[in-house]
Structure 1
Amino acid sequence: MRALGCLLTTSFLLGACASVPLAGPAADSDGKRFEPPPPGQSALYLYRSSVIGSEVVFSLADNQQPIGALANRTWTRVDVVPGRHVISCSVPSYAPLTQTPAQAATVDLAPGELRFLEVDVWPGLPLNPRCVATEVSADKGRAAVTDGNRAVASN
């Protein structure tokens, strides 16, 4: 029983450590205005709001190109060329267990479009979390972004 208590305490402390670089207050406010993308571009907001799995950082990719990372209650915006985008996420594995990889979200974007994806934990084996990106409504996405902090995107 004592070992379980130590494990839970360690998990809690690790959860407090998971973080990503945050953008400054001006960039955070700018993104929360939900301005349209530049001409000939589309915009994707990716956010994370679930407390489950908060001990890990989710790495994001668009068509296998890194676009940033998310911790709990963070978001990022990427302006992209219109067309098909396969958004995937990954998390570090803490155990040598094999399981089905996370599922990617495919989004077809038209010029000028602004869309929202929630990145969340996808149930998996213990100590081997996975993540999944799912498109959500503009209302749900805007509310989550407004409640979060902007993470610095990889460019």
Structure 2
Amino acid sequence: MRALGCLLAASFLVSACASVPMAGPAADADGKRFDPPPPGQSALYLYRTSVLGSEAVFSLADNQQPIGSLANRTWIRADVVPGRHVITCSVPSYAPLTQPLAEAATVDLAPGEIRFLEVDVWPGLPLNPRCVAGEVTADKGRAAVTDGNRAMAAN
């Protein structure tokens, strides 16, 4: 009987995980080569690895322009113009009368540069998670991207 209870609990947890549109296997493999950005651009990898808050999708924006959405163990590469980029993330609120908060990470990118941001959940009120974005080392970012799957970027 205990095994049945564990199986049901595991099924509920898996079904509660959020999903986002995924890029194909070729695009996933291309991004994991960490090729330099096109001439005159910079590359920004954004990824998510936290299981906490896995029922929520994080919507990302760069200077108020949509980048895409992340679920657990997903990542996005954005080739962008060099300069200052303010990355925000938001999570839909499931609790009445509450507003989800977005936290920003500001990254100054030079031409040809590749940088990594980890997007993580910041626990809020029940059913109202918030997200934060923070820069990580290239080694940590590459490892997380390699272990994840590429989500489709916003068009």
Is TM-score (shorter-chain normalized) higher than 0.5? yes
**Residues 27-46 of structure 1: matches in 2 within 5 Å?**
27-46=27-46
Q: Residues 56-105 of structure 1: CA distance to partner in whole angstroms, max 9, x if unpaired?
A: 11000000110100000000000000000000000100012446823200
CA distance in 2, matches of 1:39, 1:149: 26
What does residue 105 of structure 1 align with? 105
Paired residues, number: 148
**Residues 1-150 of structure 1: matches in 2 within 5 Å?**
12=13, 14-16=15-17, 18-98=18-98, 101-150=101-150
CA distance in 2, matches of 1:78, 1:140: 18
Contact kept in structure 1, 2:90 and 2:100, CA below 8 Å: no
Contact kept in structure 1, 2:92 and 2:100, CA below 8 Å: no
CA distance in 2, matches of 1:40, 1:140: 25
Contact kept in structure 1, 2:93 and 2:128, CA below 8 Å: yes
CA distance in 2, matches of 1:115, 1:28: 17
CA distance in 2, matches of 1:14, 1:36: 37
RMSD: 1.9
TM-score by structure 1 length?
Answer: 0.89
Contact kept in structure 2, 1:11 and 1:55, CA below 8 Å: no
AA aligned to 2:13 is F
Q: Percent identity?
A: 82
Contact kept in structure 2, 1:99 and 1:124, CA below 8 Å: no
CA distance in 2, matches of 1:55, 1:99: 17
Q: Residues 15-36 of structure 1: CA distance to partner in whole angstroms, max 9, x if unpaired?
A: 23x1011111110000000000
Q: Secondary structure at the match of 1:146?
A: helix
Contact kept in structure 1, 2:41 and 2:112, CA below 8 Å: yes
Q: How far did residue 123 of structure 1 move?
A: 2.0
Q: Secondary structure at the match of 1:119?
A: strand
TM-score by structure 2 length?
Answer: 0.89
Q: Secondary structure at the match of 1:142?
A: helix
AA aligned to 2:150 is R
